[in-house]
Amino acid sequence: MSSSARSTPLPNSDGPKFVTVDAQPLINTVNEQHYGSVPPPDRPRRNTKRRRPSISFFGIAMFVFIAGLVVGYGIQTPLDSFFRQHTRAAWAREVKNHDAVQERWEAWIANMEVEKRTWNADRSARQEQDHLDDIERRRTMKAEQDRWDADRRRRQEQDRIDNRARQEQDRLEEEERARKERKAREEHERQRGDIEWQSLERRGCVRYETADYTATLSHVPLGFDPIEECLNKPLMINGRRVLPSLCEDEGYCGKMTGHWEIDFNEPMCTPFFGEVQDKGCIGAHRRYDARLENIQEWDSWKLVCSTMSAAYGDVKLGPGASCSECNGGRCGYWATWMIKDYSCVA
């Protein structure tokens, strides 16, 4: 094999195989022989000088292109084989890794299925147990509710019985208390009925148309308030039952003395004035005199006279007159009024 021959690998899955290709020069320099080709025909020479052949840009480009194709084709096959083997190895590793991942994924899916079945079984068991627990709880609550209702009804019934018994006891106690109170009140009234006024005495006139009476309260039992009994015990005087206006404790043996001022049906306390006389002015006052008539009780006539009123025309002569037995040498019972009169100083 000549030095100009080269081997070109052929693509094959069993490895590269080579083919021998004879290379011949494509372009000869000047004065070189054309090997392996037909010599060029004789050209007529125009002159004695040989012209140098011209190489165009297109020829150079074609040469470079063809050389590139040849070189590329020469190195394509081993490179393609190398890269194909490298790609196959990488793809085999990728397939192996994918298979491992697929196996792990399937194992995980299987575990998940197992766990899911286990979880579903546990959930079903829990649900079943919860259902049983709920049934037991409801049964227990129903039993408790029934016991509570029974206890409540029993307590209510017992409360009704106790209330009836208590009401009956209260009724009996109230009746007994009312009986005792009634008996005590009757006894009290009986004892109070024994209390009476004694020794009624008319003590004379104390003012016009009013007389003073006294009496003694007797038979006041022990435990009674004499003053209260005195104030609440009426006495018949001049045809009327009258309560005392004053009760006086004598200070011994519960003796109480009642006082009445009777201002009705007392004709002995109703004297009257005779003609009122104008005695003229005395300083800034005018003097009026009147004689007291129809005196029945001589011991208290001055007291009655000082509480009586009279009139002289339009002049009102009220209580407060000075009373005397003699007036300017005139004997009798006289009342004198000194009334301020501005006409006396005119």
* CA atoms within 13 Å, Cβ hemisphere of 264: 7
Contacts of 340 (CB under 8 A, 6+ apart): 284, 285, 286
Query: Percent of the chain, pLDDT > 70?
Result: 78
Q: What is the mean pLDDT of the chain?
A: 80
- For 61-65, 74-78, 267-271, which range has the lowest pLDDT when averaged over its residues? 74-78
- Assign 294 a pLDDT band (cuts: 50, 70, 90): confident
- Assign 1 a pLDDT band (cuts: 50, 70, 90): very low
Mean pLDDT of 174-187: 90
Residue 158 clears pLDDT 90, i.e. is over it: yes
Mean pLDDT of 304-325: 86
Q: Which residue has the tokens 């959930």?
A: 123
Write the burial class of residue 103 (CB in 10 Å: 0-12 exposed, 13-18 middle, 19+ buried).
Answer: exposed
pLDDT greater at residue 131 or residue 29: 131
Mean pLDDT of 157-171: 93
- Assign 21 a pLDDT band (cuts: 50, 70, 90): very low
H/E segment holding residue 153: helix 57-194
Mean pLDDT of 296-313: 82
Tokens of 308: 């009586």
- Assign 33 a pLDDT band (cuts: 50, 70, 90): very low
Tokens of 128: 């079943």
Q: What is the pTM of this model?
A: 0.44
- For 76-85, 100-109, 125-134, which range has the lowest pLDDT when averaged over its residues? 76-85
For residue range 41-67, list pLDDT tens digits in order.
555 555 555 555 556 788 788 888 888
Mean pLDDT of 103-111: 91
Residue 26 clears pLDDT 50, i.e. is over it: no
Mean pLDDT of 153-168: 93
Helices H / strands E in the chain, number of each = 3, 15
Are the C-beta atoms of 287 and 272 separated by less than 8 Å? no
Rounded alpha-carbon distances, angstroms, from residue 252 to 14, 100, 232, 268: 163, 134, 20, 34
